Every structure is written in structure tokens, then in C-alpha cells.
A and B are shown apart, each in its own frame.
Chain A
């Protein structure tokens, strides 16, 4: 009997060691993309519980427009942008639920930009494995993540007409295990290019402000049936959601059809009783310079991001009576802001 107990103890001890090491390996060998999706989620999970006043959910439009550390430095508002580049709208509901697990913000912002897209700039479908994984592979293991994957896999199978191996979504280690030869500091939590989810866009393209703004009056144009469905589902979900919701449309220089699409989407949302803040209508208040503040037609660059952030921080603080948090020198906001300012200073010197 003693021998048997010894053997069982050895087996359990060995399995525990394996579990520990495997957990570490899974933590390191995860998604790594050029838009820093993983760092965005990892930083979110490290924030103090119930410390956020607002959360902004959207795709790269939000990621490029909003700087959490700047908002805090500007007027003490603590806000976070949660979302990944080309993020499918169908995942919004699961992100809202993810936020609610550890935070209790006074307002949830949802950007509408992706509702006008079925394909990305390279002609790839938005609703695809790649873009779904940026979110699901960055989320922590949880029931919410499982539900998100189940939903996305069902939708993908319906869309493509072929079977999708859900196992690889649930255990993304099967996809990333061979990244062992490409590990960088970012894989160990030191992503120097992510600033609390903000990712610097540093190109500059000039646009004709008046020409762009003239497109705002484009006649509403229906979006695709898929996007209509995503919007309907989202609005139905929000009807039962416990929290203040504000939809946004971030500044851009897209073609007239897109402005028409957004006008269609805005009307649909407003008809359902929700508010939409179209930042394209507030560019003067924001102080956006169409010569210097845009990266390309879809995103602002870091100069534009600072301005939008300041505007949003002031707007939300006033509208929702957000508290002003005391600035702590060792806080993640301060440290990030220091890093960011140092980086943008370098960029400015390089651009001169």
C-alpha cells in the first residue's frame, strides 16, 4: 500500500510540475500581431478593479484615436480603449461582458466604424479567422471566452459552409506553440510599442477638410445584410444591458459611400433610442488639423489622437459627471504617459 501511495504521489507531483510549466508556456507562446492586440488585453486585465470611468470598444479607429494615459493626465479621467484592428462587430457583446467582470464604468462607448465594412483594405473578409483570433486569443480563459468562440465558430461555419476546428480556438497554443523561435520582449509582458492599448500611428497624410466634411450630408446608404444583422443583434443585446451606452463615429476621410453608410447606421441606432456622438461633427472643437493630424484616410496619427483624447475626456467628464482621480506618480497611467511622451518627442525630432 505504501508503495502504491508513493507512486500516486509521484504521478500527481509530476503532473503538477507539468501543469505549472505548461501554464507558463501557454502564457508566453500566444498571439503576436503587429497591432499589439495581446498587450491591449493583458494591460486591461492588470488594471485595478472598478477603476475605470469609461471603456471605449471598437476596432483600430479607437485603438489609434484614444490614449488612456493622456486622458488621465489631461483631466484625471480613467478610461480604456478595448478592441483590436478590424475587430468583427459580432464580438462587441462579449467584450462588454468581459469588461463587466472586473470593471464598473459609468459609460460604455461603442464605435460604429466596422459596421460599414465587409472587407478590409486588402480585400480579405472582415469576419475571418485572423481578426476573430485577435480578440479570442487575447482574452483570458473564461466562460465568456468559450461562449464567444462558440458563437464565432458557428457563424464562420455558416458563412464558409465548411467545418471549423473549434479546438484550435479554445486552445490557441496549438497555433502558437511554434513561435518559440520568434519570441521577443513583448511575449514576456514588455511590449514597448503598446501604451495601455494605444498603438502609435506616425504617418501623415493631408486631406481637404471642407471636401471631407461635405460628405457628412451624404444620403443614408444601407449597409450589407450581414452588418445589418450584427447591428440588430447588438442593439437587441443592449436593450437588456445594464450600463450607459454611447455610440461613436471617429474622425476619418473615407469616401462618400462610407459617410452614407454611417448616416444609415446612425439613424438605425437613434431610432432605437441610443445616442451617437459623431466626432466628424466636432472636428473644430477637437482642433483637428486635416493637414497634419491624419495617418491616412481611416485613422488619425498620434497628433490627432492627443487632441481626440483630450476632447473625449472633457466631453465625458462633463456629460457623465466622471470623477477626477488623483494622479499617482507610480501609477500605470503616469508611467505610460512618460514613455509615450518620450517616444513622441523622438518622432517629432525625427520628422523635423
Chain B
């Protein structure tokens, strides 16, 4: 059941109705039932056993850990710590098995081949449980947060189940922390009139980005990737894919967050106008925010706080100076962070490099070259606060981001580099025109302008609040234009695959 399909909206309407009719204290039951139903329809009942096992481990480990810490049992062995480690390893193991097994098998065979041995490892036919990449990180965060005393464990098993499989987040996230949604999830609130309208508006905006822009861009990008296009056409394809990805993923998030808002449940934002980022570090603070925050809190900081690295940091500071010493320590943390991000996206070098290590290289490169950059700006008297300079930074950042994720789109690293090599051949930009009708190109341009305007508006104030203050006819015209843009210009119907959200594959 794709979240852009009529079936999903009919399901959402029924669940919302039930949610409103049921007494407030029992409303979370409705959500639990809906989530189980959603899981079975979109996933598999058989694989739910795996999810249930992960839920049991996280639930049990957290309660046990909390009990031991409260009882203050003092022993030489930190049993709470061991239990937490085991529980986290179990979750990581499940994720690695379902997502990375074939990556290890393939590279294992390559290694065996390099060592002159026969490649005897077989690829596995593995189907992953629905949403495993998202809920596993949520469980790991939960287990660690309970251990660190950040949050108290949930003692009601069914309530805890709901946290993990809450249906709006099963397809593409966001990656939620227990403490972020605990209050709203079980409170049984529902949106007031304005909240209800805002939720619907957000869903509509998400549908516009997904159906009108992203899905219209997709066949064009696909054609450029697989066809005989060279020079600037390839670059346009690269930028086009990044744009498509942004529209697809952020559109999905808008639908998910909007749907959740109807139930009075505020989920964490996953995007904060990444087009306005002036550096790659900033881009990743505005793009897939929940993943970035997760790896920062549960990978990078724990690594930086390890005794080994702290000792090394002291030595480096002594040897290379305080500033450089600190940077070098951070680079170690960043390396593992980006490695995890890359691996999370998928079991292939294209993801490990394209969604991960590329950013590590760019960020490090930027930091190393920073003094040279500053010298150039000073010598050329570039006004760094000017609109032009900011625009240049934003364009540069988007181009670099697009360049990295182009590898994620390629079938292999070789294909990725081969595609980039095509950039250096002569161009014929007009060869792009037949890839879509005039009407489609027009819509893509208008869509981009609208998205940019909304993003610009968001920098100043909440767009929905801004529109809500306008006169009724103005508001209605805007809503109707958006609604009919989706109904008439949206890419859906016979021949289209409603289920294909790009981040759904993760």
C-alpha cells in the first residue's frame, strides 16, 4: 500500500475516524491495530516475527538495564553495560544480516579471489522486514538512552510495540527517538481544527513534490543515465537526480508528517530547506536530519569519547597544535560516521562511497584547504555576506551533493566513473528536449520555482501560518490550485508504480 495511493488515504481516513470515535485513553490501541494491519499488508506476516524479536530484545533489555541501574547493584562486572551491548549487537546483527549480507559475501569473494583462492561464498536471497533500516536505529537509540539514563523504559509491551511499528514511519522514516514521540503517541490527542487543516495541507504539499515533480523527473533522469548523453547533458542528469531525490524523499516526509499531525503526533523533521545550505556539513544538518543526528549521537560522539581516542587526541594536540590535533580526532569520528551512513544506505560500494565516504573526503578536504580559501577571499575582497557569494556557496554545495549521490544511482562504482567520463565528450543539449513534452518541461520549471519560493518563505516564517492569516478566498484559491495541480498534473494512473519511493528501498 503506497502512501501516495488512494488505498492509503482511504485507510488513513478510516483509522482517523476510528481514532476520533474511541475514548482518548484507548486511542493508541487504534494506532497499534492500524500499524499491525499496515505492516501485514505492506510487509509480510512471516517477517513480522523478526521485527517482534527485535521489539522483545529492545523492550526486555531496557527494562532489565533500568532495573539493575536503579537497584544500584555494585559488582565488578557492569552487567547493565553488558546487557546493553548484547541488545545493541543483536539489533545491529539483524540489520547487517538483512541489509549487508550480500555486500560481505561479494567482497568476501573478491578477497578470496585476490588471495588466489576459489570464491566459494554464495549470494543469499534475502527479503528484509518492512522498515528495518528505520526502526532498528530507533531501538538502538532507545536501548542506549535507557542505559545512559536519558529516558525511562516503557513498561507496557503493547505501547512499546507501537513505538517501533507506528505505521506512517515504516516506509521511509523519519528515525524517531522514543523521548521525542512518547508523549504524543500515547496521549490520545488529536489535532484541533487548525492542526487538522495543516496536516492535510502538508500531505497535499508532499503529494505535489512527489507526484508532480519527482515522478515527472524520474524517466528523464533514467533516460540520461542509460542513454547516449554526453557533456553538459550528463551534468544535468546528475543535478536532475539530486533534485528528484530531494523532491521524492521530502515529499514522502511531508505526507508522513502531515498524516501523523492528524493524530496530534508531531514527528521530527527530516528536512530543513537543504537548498539553502552553504557547505556540505550544513547540507547534512538540513538533509535527512534524523539520520545525521542519530549517527552523531550514537556513533560519532561515543567514538570521540573513547579512552583510546582521547589519549591519542592529547598526543596529537601536543604534536600538531591544539587546533589541528582536535581536527584530526574529529576526522576519525567523521570517518566512522560517514562509513555507517554509507553502509546504512545499502550494501554496495556505490552507497558506501556515494552516500558516505565522498562526504567524508569533501568535508576533510574543505577543512584542510580552509586556510587557502580564507586567504583567497581576503585577497580578492569577496564580501562573504553578500547575496552573490551565498548563492555561489549554495550552488556549489548542491553540485557537490549531486556529484556524490550520482554514485548511489549507478549500478557499480565502475559505471559511476564511466558516467562521469562521459562529461568530457562534446555536448548536444538539445538532445534533452525530446526526453519530455513541452508541458512536462514547463511543469518541472514551474515546480522548481514554487519549491524555491516556499523554501525562501520558510526562512522567514511558517508558510502554513502565513497562508492561514490570508483572507478565506485567497486561502481557498491556493489550496484548490495545489489540489488540482496534483489531481491533473500528478504522475499516477495506469502504467505508473505508486510504490516506488526512493528511500523506501532503504
**A and B pair up:** yes
Q: Are A181 and B492 in contact (CB under 8 A)?
A: no
Q: Are A17 and B480 in contact (CB under 8 A)?
A: yes
B493 at the interface (CB under 8 A from A): yes
Query: In the docked arrangement, what's the CA distance between A238 and B298, Å?
Result: 75
- A7-B193, A14-B476, A181-B439 known; A25 vs B487 contact (CB < 8 Å): yes
Query: In the docked arrangement, what's the CA distance between A18 and B488, Å?
Result: 13
Q: Which residues does chain A contribute within 8 Å of B493, judged by CB atoms?
A: 168, 174-175, 177-178
Q: Which residues does chain B contribute within 8 Å of A142, judged by CB atoms?
A: none
B74 at the interface (CB under 8 A from A): no
Which of the four size classes fits the interface of chain B?
Answer: 10 to 19
Query: In the docked arrangement, what's the CA distance between A22 and B483, Å?
Result: 10
B484 at the interface (CB under 8 A from A): yes
A119 at the interface (CB under 8 A from B): no
B395 at the interface (CB under 8 A from A): no
Q: Are B193 and A18 in contact (CB under 8 A)?
A: no
Over the window 152-175 of chain A, the binary record of Cβ atoms lying under 8 Å from chain B Cβ atoms (1 yes, 0 no) is 000000000000010110000011
A116 at the interface (CB under 8 A from B): no
Min Cβ gap B191→A in Å is 12
Q: Are A177 and B193 in contact (CB under 8 A)?
A: no
Closest to B194 in A: A7
Q: Which residues does chain A contribute within 8 Å of B492, judged by CB atoms?
A: 174, 177
- A7-B193, A168-B493 known; A177 vs B476 contact (CB < 8 Å): no
B423 at the interface (CB under 8 A from A): no
Closest to A129 in B: B494
B275 at the interface (CB under 8 A from A): no
Q: Which residues does chain A contribute within 8 Å of B490, judged by CB atoms?
A: 177
A315 at the interface (CB under 8 A from B): no
Contact of B488 among A17, A165, A180 (CB under 8 A): A180
Q: Are B480 and A22 in contact (CB under 8 A)?
A: no
Query: In the docked arrangement, what's the CA distance between A21 and B490, Å?
Result: 17
Q: Are B488 and A177 in contact (CB under 8 A)?
A: yes
Min Cβ gap B371→A in Å is 54
Q: Are B488 and A174 in contact (CB under 8 A)?
A: no
Min Cβ gap B220→A in Å is 15
Q: Which residues does chain B contribute within 8 Å of A25, judged by CB atoms?
A: 484, 487-488
| Chain A binding surface, main DSSP class | helix
Closest to A164 in B: B494
| Chain B binding surface, main DSSP class | helix
Min Cβ gap B218→A in Å is 15
Min Cβ gap B196→A in Å is 9
Q: Which residues does chain A contribute within 8 Å of B437, judged by CB atoms?
A: 181
Contact of A178 among B193, B479, B480, B488 (CB under 8 A): B488
Over the window 175-192 of chain A, the binary record of Cβ atoms lying under 8 Å from chain B Cβ atoms (1 yes, 0 no) is 101101100000000000
Q: Which residues does chain A contribute within 8 Å of B489, judged by CB atoms?
A: 177-178, 180
Min Cβ gap B20→A in Å is 13
A57 at the interface (CB under 8 A from B): no
Min Cβ gap B334→A in Å is 45
Query: In the docked arrangement, what's the CA distance between A5 and B193, Å?
Result: 11
Q: Which residues does chain A contribute within 8 Å of B6, judged by CB atoms?
A: 167
Query: In the docked arrangement, what's the CA distance between A177 and B484, Å?
Result: 10
Over the window 463-501 of chain B, the binary record of Cβ atoms lying under 8 Å from chain A Cβ atoms (1 yes, 0 no) is 000000000000010011001100111111110000000
Q: Are A21 and B488 in contact (CB under 8 A)?
A: no
A29 at the interface (CB under 8 A from B): yes
Q: Are B484 and A21 in contact (CB under 8 A)?
A: yes
Closest to B192 in A: A7
Q: Which residues does chain A contribute within 8 Å of B487, judged by CB atoms?
A: 22, 25, 177
- Which B49-90 residues sit within 8 Å CB-CB of chain A? none
Min Cβ gap B261→A in Å is 17
Q: Which residues does chain A contribute within 8 Å of B476, judged by CB atoms?
A: 14, 17
Query: In the docked arrangement, what's the CA distance between A7 and B494, Å?
Result: 37
Query: In the docked arrangement, what's the CA distance between A168 and B492, Å?
Result: 11
Query: In the docked arrangement, what's the CA distance between A175 and B493, Å?
Result: 6
Return 25 A-B CB contacts under 8 Å, by A number: A14-B476, A14-B479, A17-B476, A17-B480, A18-B480, A21-B480, A22-B484, A22-B487, A25-B487, A25-B488, A29-B488, A167-B6, A168-B494, A174-B492, A175-B494, A177-B489, A177-B490, A177-B492, A177-B493, A178-B488, A178-B489, A180-B488, A180-B489, A181-B438, A181-B439
**Additional pairs, 12, CB under 8 Å, beyond known A14-B479, A178-B488:** A18-B483, A21-B480, A22-B484, A25-B487, A25-B488, A29-B488, A168-B493, A174-B492, A174-B493, A174-B494, A175-B494, A180-B489
Which A residues fall within an 8 A CB radius of B? Answer: 3, 7, 14, 17-18, 21-22, 25, 29, 165, 167-168, 174-175, 177-178, 180-181
Name the 8 nearest CB pairs between A and B, nearest first.
Answer: A181-B439, A174-B493, A7-B193, A168-B494, A180-B488, A177-B488, A175-B493, A175-B494
